[in-house]
Structure 1
Amino acid sequence: MIPSFLARLAVAGLLISNVLADSEFDWETLTATASLNWTSCYTGFECSLLEVPLDYSADKGNASIAVVRYPSTAPKSEYLGPILFNPGGPGGSGVTTIVALGAEFAEIFGNQFDIVGFDPRGVSFSKPAVSFFKTAAERQSWTAPDLDFRYPSLNASAGVIPNVWGQFQLIGQLAEERDTDDVLQYITTDNVARDMLRISQAFGYEKLQYWGVSYGSLLGATFATLFPNNVGRIAIDGIMDWEAWYSSNLTGSLQDTDKTLQTFFDGCVAAGPSACAFYAPSSAEIAANLAALTESIRAQPFPVKTDISHGLVDFTFFRNYIFAALYSPYNAFAGFAQGLAALASGNATGVYAANQAPEFECDCSVDRAPFTENIYESLIATSCGDGPQLNDSISDLRAFYERQTELSSFADIWGLWRIHCTGWKVHRPGRFQGPVGGNTSFPLLVIGNTADPVTPLAWAHKASAAFPGSVVLTQDTPGHMSLVAPSLCTHGALRAYFQNGTLPAAGTVCEPDASAVLFPGAPNATANTSTTNAPKTLLATAADGKLLDAVRKIGNVVRPIAAMGRPL
């Protein structure tokens, strides 16, 4: 919700650039209005800017929300309204996600729906934009071009926590001083939820239909709490806990992280040496080899120079490299094993090159940065603006980190979520901070994975308990959110929920499609994907195959976006 925080931003930015390359659209040509006035955009889409209040409790001017739809092709008599989607982050662009994947979303849900993406306030094409920096060069001074811009491991040295604390004290000062239009306090999740209601109403629907993944799950739960009578169909997937989010204490995210890593160890053993390059005869031996490699890199990092960048594969790089693989095991584990084997043999070039970003070049003819470059700021503004006022000292943060180590070996990567809000001073009085829950006009569908590294299954059950009548659908996969692997059981249930309101039976556990394997080419590949023994679901029709193909394509784009800020 990622080789690193900003490395994943670079990946997402590349995806966005590829999406927009074939058919550019200038959002500056649109005028925001209180209704949706559609203009043809990109290829086969329609765009509009929706005017909404900047402050829903007082007249403080307006914000404009960028909205795109992949239009329904069904007859009017069969039309079922809009389905809004949020790809997580926070900071992910719903516009570019749907422009990339509108047809695939329609394949899942059916052509009776408008498939709708929107950029939350402060993000991408929506205005006001969030920016702490005056120039692209100044922004780049905080986010260096190579993998020094990864999450710093708090265990790399004694100086990391003080240095990071100091950096975010400065970020907080810059944000506050440069917020001359007084907009940052309104970049909050509760206001995005209010904007979603306005979007649905502008379509002519009082009840929201919505699918939110990762941070988008928190957004969906917040909407359902604020507007329980406006819930049409809301599916939340990869559940972020409200109590953790609104208290700026995401320690509980790590409940299943080591369990996810264990699936790598166990899967590698099951796959055998022909399919897992880091193979050893037992899970314990693979774990020990990984620990030894980690300490070796701590003692002596690898300097690497490529044609487009240079940097170090050091302890922090390596810790991020491991953590990144846990987000997308079915896509990552085989390559991750190859990377580990290469590092163990003394070759770091491939691992570094696969995660590098080009050196920064400033285009001095451009007076403002491309929209994709404010993802960093919008994430900080939303996550810190939602939370409480923090005044943690360096000693407080050291103690916080030590408490996290009692839960997971990945506490060194996760502590930054707390630190990056310690210098934030912009908070709107009266903002929503929980609790979430209550009776809704239609029950929610809640989806969680058995071994999610950052949004544990326990949080799915906690969310469901807060919304009477909701149902937890469990997908028996490692990785973050259901899009980690296509599942006819899971995503067929998602389709049925939106098309006719059918909820899966309580206690349903879904397996991924048989093609989803952790280590392709293993003699027993179909046996190394699950943590339980839920029955496999076989394809029945060609339409089932199209649904699974659509899920694969959506997952390939959404996973990096959802994980931008880890976890969301």
Structure 2
Amino acid sequence: MLSLAFKRLRFIALCITTAQAVSDFDWQTLTPSPGLDWKPCYSGFQCTRLTVPLDYSAPQGSNASIAIVRLPSTAPKSEYRGPILFNPGGPGGSGVDAIVENGEAFVNTFGPGFDIVGFDPRGISYSTPIISFFNTEAERRFLIPSATNIIYPSLNQSSHALSEGWADYQLLGQLALASDVGAGHYLQHMSTDNIARDMLRITEVFGFEKLQYWGISYGSVLGATFATMFPVCGHLKLLKSKLSGCCHIHPFRSFNRLTSISQSANGTSMMADVDGSLDAFFDGCHKAGPELCPFYEPTASAISAKLDALTASVHEKPIAVVTPGSHGLIDLTFLRNVILDALFDPYDSASGFVPLAQGLAHLAKGNATALYALGAIPTFECPASASAAPAFHENNLEAYIAIACGDANPVNDTLTELQEYWLNGLRVSNFSDLLSSPRVVCSGYNIHRPGRFQGPVGAKNISFPLLLVGNTLDPGTAHAGAIQTSKAFPGSVVLTQDSVGHTSLVAPSSCKDGYFREYFVNGTLPAPGTVCPIDIELFPNSTSPDASATTKRALQTVEEKRLLNAGRKIGRVVRRAVGRRAL
């Protein structure tokens, strides 16, 4: 789910960006239609743009266009099982990109009988109208350093951090309002309930009454919303690889959490596993030893104290870093975000616990370059035409604000109430200075459609029981949320993955992937209380040819190995496409 991301540049305007996803297919060549007019695209895929009502209460009015890609089933017609829709999270993640990059891995998991379908929710990526608050790319980059590197401004950065952040988001909210007025008031229709209605329309035009769906992070929120709105819409198969955030994160985050400071218990429930995830870093580093964890100390508590001292040093005296492709400061906000990124994706060889330990060890010795590389934003030259309208492909921040904040009740807290909110969160997590930022973000957004779905989620008589998945420790969506969500959907089952990190895709598990396949292919749910081990170590042996592939146990069968490889590829593509995007 989309972590927040707005940090005003505090130096002379500089155009900066990250490399945007490169598409070898021009979506504008497709004419939107009310049916599935498939055209060849990418390599072996088919694409279409589906026309849907912008406002479902006025279906004869303006339309939206939903970009859809599929990797078609290769099974005989008699064995065709229909489409599986996939959402990679956010809100703001591109389902098209996720499937195009590695759709074959989905086939290897679920078999050839399904169409593997990715779609960009309304307002996101290739779907139109695109959610945008700016007129030019230069204007956008002046206020938002990167579309892909998501930054939580630390509310403890300085005595003015909260008031400056609040002012920043008031400005962004006013830009959103001005953009919306000039574009016909479309932003109010960029909501989770309308995306659920779009999913129903997609399912129907495929010729099916029953949705088959896999959603992770915010995607699980979307799925729970669908299941609540359309509980008997056929044989619903709703696989939630990380629905442990559903009721406690998006419906409570967007529908309840942001509505009142008095609901701080709901507001901080999502933080429940954050400090435990950091403890897993300390314990794992100590257990791994100095050869595998360069930030090692004789005890886990000593590692914790060493990090506290390093954090205090950076807070007092930020460090300037210049590299060939970037430059910036390692300050409290930067360091805390790098650590939080690692908690979200601890097994990743590029940003997880191993590179974090390496970067911290170098920083402790006075070399900041390695740690800076974990969160650096590359610079780039401004476009030749500064007035050119931006063709946003990655609009994660704007999509997050429009959908998550638009779903919620308006946030009208005073600065004092916002201060109380994040300080209250410290009772749950030391990272409240970062994770309370969503409320500050939404305090500036004032576009809300009357009558939008605001929860609660749940349905007593759903057509087919849900499979919910939760990690033992998830810094974004605490495991308790999966249990709570299961209670809201009687008959559902919670499958627990024994890992730390955000969503079950954070680590490969042939056990988990096997249950996923059984659920979709045979409609079989795991037994209540099932716990799946993962097939990777937090601090793998660095002498392995591929440390990220080091398994904790010997795989017994060809099927286990195939599922493990497919699951690893799916996790990798989703992490790259979405990253740490929402809470």
TM-score range with shorter-chain normalisation? Answer: over 0.9
- Residue 322 of structure 1 and its aligned partner are, at CA, apart by 0.9
CA distance in 2, matches of 1:196, 1:145: 29
- Does residue 106 (structure 1) correspond to residue 107 (structure 2)? The answer is yes
- Give the aligned partner of residue 223 of structure 2: 220
Matches within 5 A, 1:512-523: 512-513=534-535, 516-521=536-541
Contact 1:86 1:216 in 2 (8 A): yes
Structure 1 residue aligned with 2:240: 236
Which amino acid in structure 1 is aligned with residue 403 of structure 2?
T
Q: Distance in 2 between matches of 1:301 and 1:289?
A: 17
Quick one: which amino acid aligns to residue 560 of structure 2? D
Show CA shifts across 1:100-134 (max 9, x none). Answer: 01101111111100000000000011111111000
In the TM superposition, residue 543 of structure 1 has moved relative to its aligned partner by 2.7
The 2-side partners of 1:428 and 1:130 are apart by 15
For 1:505, which of 519, 527, 536 is the aligned residue?
527
Q: Is 1:344 the equivalent of 2:364? A: yes
Equivalent position of 2:547 in the other structure: none
Report how far residue 538 of structure 1 moved. 5.5
Name 1:25's counterpart in structure 2: 25
Alignment check: 8 A CA contact 1:147 1:356 kept: no
CA distance in 1, matches of 2:139, 2:213: 37
* SS of equivalent residue, structure 1 residue 211: strand
Deviation at 1:547, TM superposition (A): 1.4
Q: How do 1:442-457 and structure 2 match up within 5 A?
A: 442-457=464-479
Partner SS, residue 330 of structure 1: coil
1:259 aligns with 2:264: no
CA-to-aligned-CA distance 1:336-374 (integer Å, 9 cap, x gap): 111110010010012213422222422134833233242
Residue 398 (structure 1) aligns with: 419
Please tell me whether residue 459 in structure 1 is matched to residue 463 in structure 2: no
- The answer to whether 1:273 aligns with 2:290 is yes
C-alpha distance in structure 1 between counterparts of 2:579 and 2:445, whole Å: 22
* TM-aligned CA deviation for residue 504 of structure 1: 0.1
In the alignment, is residue 565 of structure 1 matched against residue 581 of structure 2? yes
2:210 equivalent in structure 1: 207
d(CA) in 1 for partners of 2:530 and 2:290? 34
Identity %: 52
Equivalent of 1:247, from 256, 279, 284?
A: 256
8 Å contact from structure 2 (residues 17, 377) kept in 1: no
The answer to which of 166-175 and 211-220 deviates more is 166-175
1:288 aligns with 2:305: yes
Q: CA RMSD in A?
A: 2.3
Structure 2 contact 493–526 (Cα < 8 Å) conserved: yes
Q: Aligned AA for 2:530? A: T
Structure 2 matches for 1:11-50, cutoff 5 A?
14=19, 16-17=21-22, 20=23, 24-50=24-50
Name the residue aligned to 2:462: 440
**Residue 404 of structure 2, aligned match among 352, 375, 383:** 383
1:537 offset after TM fit, Å? 7.4
Deviations 1:136-178 (A, max 9, x none): 0000111136999722100111101001111111111111122
Q: How does 1:407-556 map to 2 (within 5 A)?
A: 407-438=428-459, 439-513=461-535, 516-521=536-541, 539-556=555-572
CA distance in 2, matches of 1:432, 1:157: 38
Q: Distance in 1 between matches of 2:493 and 2:373?
A: 43
Deviations 1:226-273 (A, max 9, x none): 001124211112222222331244421100100111111111111111
* 8 Å CA contact 1:132, 1:178 repeated in 2: yes
Instruction: Measure the CA separation in 1 of the matches of 2:222 and 2:147.
Output: 32
Q: What is aligned with 1:526?
A: none
Q: Is the 8 A contact 1:213 1:562 kept in 2?
A: no
Q: Secondary structure at the match of 1:449?
A: strand
Contact 2:4 2:397 in 1 (8 A): no
C-alpha spacing 1:444/1:161, structure 2 compared with 1 (3 Å): same
1:363-417 residue CA offsets vs partner (Å, 9 max, x unmatched): 1348332332422211110011000011111111101111111110000111111
Supply the AA of the counterpart residue of 1:285: A
Cα distance in 2 for residues equivalent to 1:107 and 1:443 = 24
Provide the rounded CA distance (Å) in 1 between the counterparts of 2:200 and 2:553. 36
* Distance in 1, Cα, partners of 2:272 & 2:407: 23
TM-aligned CA distance change 1:564 to 1:334, over 3 Å: closer
- 1-structure distance, mates of 2:2, 2:494: 27
The answer to which of 406-415 and 545-554 deviates more is 545-554
Question: Of residues 317, 320, 326 in structure 1, which corresponds to 2:337?
Answer: 320
**Change over 3 Å in CA distance of 1:48–1:145 after alignment to 2:** closer
Distance 2:142 2:542 in 1: 45
Moved more, 551-560 or 92-101: 551-560
Whole-Å separation in 2 of the counterparts to 1:396 and 1:152: 18
Counterparts of 1:81 and 1:14, CA distance in 2: 35
Query: How many angstroms does 1:489 deviate by?
Result: 1.2
Q: Are residues 15 and 495 of structure 1, via their aligned partners in 2, closer, same or farther at CA, if it must alter by over 3 Å?
A: farther
Aligned residue type for 1:244: R
For structure 1, the residue ranges without an aligned partner over 5 or more in a row are: 524-535
Q: CA deviation at 1:521?
A: 1.6
Q: 1:2 to 1:423 in 2, by over 3 A?
A: closer
Which amino acid in the other structure matches residue 123 of structure 1? Answer: I
* Structure 2 Cα separation of the partners of residues 11 and 352 of structure 1: 16
Runs of 4+ in 1 over 3 A off after TM superposition: 2-7, 10-15, 145-149, 560-564
Q: Deviations over 1:188-224 (max 9, x none)?
A: 0000000000001111011000000000000000000
- Asked if the contact 1:147/1:311 (under 8 Å) is kept, the reply is no
How far residue 551 of structure 1 moved from its aligned partner, in angstroms, is: 1.1
Distance 1:538 1:196 in 2: 40
Amino acid at match of 1:235: L
Matches within 5 A, 1:58-77: 58=58, 59-77=60-78
Distance (Å, rounded) in 2 between the aligned partners of 1:275 and 1:546:
28
AA at the equivalent of 2:362: A
Q: Could you list the per-position Cα deviations for residues 484-516 of structure 1 after superposition, in whole angstroms to 9, with x for gaps in the alignment?
A: 111111111011100010000000011002xx0
Provide the rounded CA distance (Å) in 1 between the counterparts of 2:98 and 2:334: 28
Using the TM superposition, name which of 265-274 and 242-251 deviates more.
242-251
Within a 5 Å distance, the mapping from 1:16-165 to structure 2 comes to: 16-17=21-22, 20=23, 24-58=24-58, 59-144=60-145, 150-165=151-166
| Uncovered stretches (5+) of structure 2, i.e. residues with no partner | 8-14, 259-266, 544-551
Q: Secondary structure at the match of 2:155?
A: coil
Quick one: structure 1 residues 336 and 564, their matched pair in 2 at CA, closer, same or farther if it must change by over 3 Å? closer
Q: How far, CA to CA, are the matches of 1:325 and 1:104 in structure 2?
A: 25
Of 154-163 and 354-363, deviating more is 354-363
* C-alpha distance 78-55 of structure 1, shift in aligned 2 (>3 A): same
Q: Using the alignment, how far apart are the partners of 1:5 and 1:486 within structure 2? A: 28
Determine if contact 1:451/1:479 at 8 Å carries over to the other structure.
Answer: yes
Give the conservation status (yes or no) of the 8 Å contact 2:122–2:128: yes
Deviates more, 1:228-237 or 1:193-202: 228-237
**Contact 2:18–2:146 (CA under 8 A) maintained in structure 1:** no
Alpha-carbon contact 2:3-2:580 (below 8 Å) kept:
no
8 Å CA contact 2:3, 2:582 repeated in 1: no
